[in-house]
Amino acid sequence: MKHILRIIIALIFIASGLVKAVDVVGFSFKLEEYFSPSVFNMPFLENQALAISIFVVVLELVLGFMLLLRIRLKFTLSALIAVCIFFAFLTFYSAYFNKVTDCGCFGDALKFRPWQSFFKDLVLLIGLILLWLLYRNQFQLLQAKNPSKYVALSLFSIIMGFVIAHGILHEPLIDFRDYKIGTDLNAEKSKLEKDPSEYKTFYSLKNTKTGEVLEINQDEYVNDKKYWEEGSPWKIEDGKTTSKIVKEGYSSEISKFKPETPEGMELTDKILKSPNSILIFSYKPNEANKDLIAETESKAKSQKNALVLGISTQPNTFKTIDNATMDATAIKTIARSNPFVLTLQNGKIVDKMSAKDYLKK
């Protein structure tokens, strides 16, 4: 049973590392959320998010593979326990304070809610501690070096290095996002409209006479006049009104695809109805290579009968094509490079790539 437990935990760490290795830039965006002023307030680490994400991914992959092959088991288990404690803290903080709604533990391949992420880390931590106890008498016996295991570890590391590099320099080898090639944005938009999620406002009420506190939704509040009639002892507590989902509808990041002109006019329908659209994205226009943007604009404009549009967080990023603005997080969901090119035909994604790859095409 201890061998089965070890293999299962090792495969979980390898799978977790692999889906993040495929799209390490996307994982770095998630770390930027943790470093932002609204969460841990460590803005000085935001520029190091990519380097840190690579380190974390490599750590997960290498330690997971070492656990699978029982390489330096005492060190491996100690390191994985430390990693689990660290992530358990992060996920607990996110869940308790509702700061980051998705930890990014399995990238875009598998979404976990904050509390689900925390309990997942807790189960892994318990499993690792159990493995430590089960193997503690064999640590010395397993210290003997096996050259074939280290060769396998080296080959695995080289392959994973290639996967990580490809995701940084180009597009992820496997695209787990809602904006993968072949996605029909019109169809996705239709699904969102037919099956929307439903939210209700919840009030925290306090009885000024008894001190009793209760939480009710907007319907209960409106339908029972004892909560709001003149002279009622029930008062809404300041800062404790929340919006909660009561019916989970169809979910897609495409709901955030809402480019707007500098004047505030939404361009979504125009883009999705166009026979051929070329969209150039920049989520950090101040850091983007201006010459690269200019060359990309020039090539895109040379395409006949195409709607060419530049979309960024600022209204004047692009000099020779029409500008539109969109939320940085929404752009990052689409674009892993800065700048980035997305090609649509009648609202269907037919191509996507970094601006550098677009110019080479």
- Span 284-294, pLDDT tens digits: 999 999 999 99
Q: Which residues of 98-133 are buried (b: 16+ CB within 10 A; e: fewer)?
A: ebbebbbbbbbbebbebeebbbbbeebbebbeebbe
- Averaged pLDDT for residues 295-300: 96
Of the candidate ranges 59-63, 106-110, 132-136, 220-224, the one whose mean pLDDT is the lowest: 106-110
Q: Which range scores top for mean pLDDT: 37-41, 211-215, 353-357?
A: 353-357
| Res 104 pLDDT > 70 | no
Least confident of 130-144, 149-163, 286-300: 130-144
167 φψ region: left (φ > 0), alpha (ψ -120 to 50), beta (else): alpha
What does the alpha-carbon distance between residue 324 and residue 307 come to, in Å, rounded to a whole number? 13
Domain ranges of the chain: 2-169, 198-247, 254-360
pLDDT at 273: 95
Q: Which of 11-15, 38-42, 230-234 has the highest mean pLDDT?
A: 11-15
Give the per-residue pLDDT at 143: 67
**Rounded Cα gap, residues 69 and 57, in angstroms:** 18
Check residue 21 and give its pLDDT: 94
Q: What is the pLDDT of residues 298-351, one digit of tens each?
A: 999 999 899 999 999 998 899 999 999 999 999 999 999 999 999 999 999 999
Per-residue pLDDT band at 140 (split at 50, 70, 90) = low
What pLDDT score was predicted for residue 103?
A: 65
- Give residue 11's pLDDT band: very low, low, confident or very high (50, 70, 90): very high
- Do 39 and 29 touch, CB atoms closer than 8 A? no
Q: Which residue has the tokens 């940084």?
A: 168
Spell out the residues 6+ positions from residue 235 whose beta carbon is closer than 8 angstroms to its own.
Answer: 205, 206, 208
pLDDT at 248: 84
Name, in order, each residue with C-beta under 8 angstroms of 342's C-beta and a sequence gap of 6 or more.
179, 278, 279, 281, 334, 335, 349, 351, 352
The answer, yes or no, to whether residue 37 has pLDDT greater than 90, is no
**Average confidence score pLDDT of the chain:** 90
Task: Read off the pLDDT band of 39 (50, 70, 90).
Answer: confident
Residue 142: the pLDDT is: 66
CATH for the stretch 254-360:
3.40.30.10
Band of pLDDT at residue 144, cut at 50, 70 and 90: low
In this prediction, residues 61-81 reach a mean pLDDT of 94
Longest alpha-carbon distance in the chain? 81
Angstrom distances, CA of residue 170 to CA of 6, 73, 312, 338: 35, 36, 20, 11
Select from 70, 80, 79 the least CA-distant residue to 138: 70
The CA distance from 118 to 103, in Å, is 9
Q: Residue 225 CB: number of other CB atoms within 10 A?
A: 10
Q: Band of the pLDDT at 141, cuts 50, 70, 90?
A: low
